[in-house]
Amino acid sequence: MPRTKFATRLALAALSALILAGCSSEVADTHPEQPVTKRRDAFKAMLRSFEPMGTMLKDRRYDADAFAKLADEFGRLRDAPWSHFGADTNYPPTKAKPAVWEKPAEFDQRRQEFVAATDRLLAAAAARNEAEVRTTYAAAQDSCKACHRDFRK
């Protein structure tokens, strides 16, 4: 096969893979209670207060009151996703790994570590202690990543 034709085929294959990937994330959540949609929305809502806290720290413009407000908001949202991981809720379009249902004790352990880490962040934010806020924020972020590494695709 001439090189250019091969390249074109490769490009087309890559393109259709992209389109397929795009479509698979568009699969509709047809379950009546929509637990997958609910937990994903809950994670996204949580991120909307968690991320700005990180940005504030990264940009070195820590504002104790604004940070405490974001932390309060995050504290209200951090428990929301978990009740939507019921027994029959491993279906497309979920990005959760089967491990969530295969290793429930480990998943719950990660969730508890996340709660403990974010408890420390909320306390530091309320105390308006920047140094503590920085270390506890980093630890909280590690707790998100640790769970995603094993339990999210």
State how far the Cα of 117 lies from the Cα of 139, in Å rounded to an integer.
6
Rank residues 130 and 150 by Cβ distance to ligand HEC and give the closer one. Answer: 150
The answer to whether 133 and 122 have CB atoms below 8 angstroms apart is no
Token readout for 130 is: 């920047």
Between 94 and 136, CB nearer to ligand HEC: 94
Q: Say how far apart CA 8 and CA 99 lie, in whole Å.
A: 39
Q: How far apart are CA 100 and CA 109, in angstroms?
A: 11
Q: In this complex, which beta carbon is closest to ligand HEC, that of residue 40 or of residue 71?
A: 40
Between 97 and 128, name the residue whose CB sits nearer to ligand HEC.
97
Binding segment for ligand HEC (CB under 6 A), chosen from 1-9, 60-68, 109-117, 128-136, is 109-117
Shortest distance, CB of residue 135 to ligand HEC, whole angstroms?
A: 15
CA angle 21, 24, 25 (to 5 degrees): 90
Query: Quick check: 111 and 80 in contact, CB under 8 A?
Result: no
Instruction: Please report, as residue ranges, which positions from 55 to 74 form the binding site for ligand HEC (by CB under 6 A).
Output: none
Q: Does 144 bind ligand HEC (CB under 6 A)?
A: yes
Binding site residues, ligand HEC, CB under 6 A: 36, 39-40, 43-44, 46-47, 50, 94-96, 100, 107, 110-111, 114, 140, 143-144, 147-148, 151-152
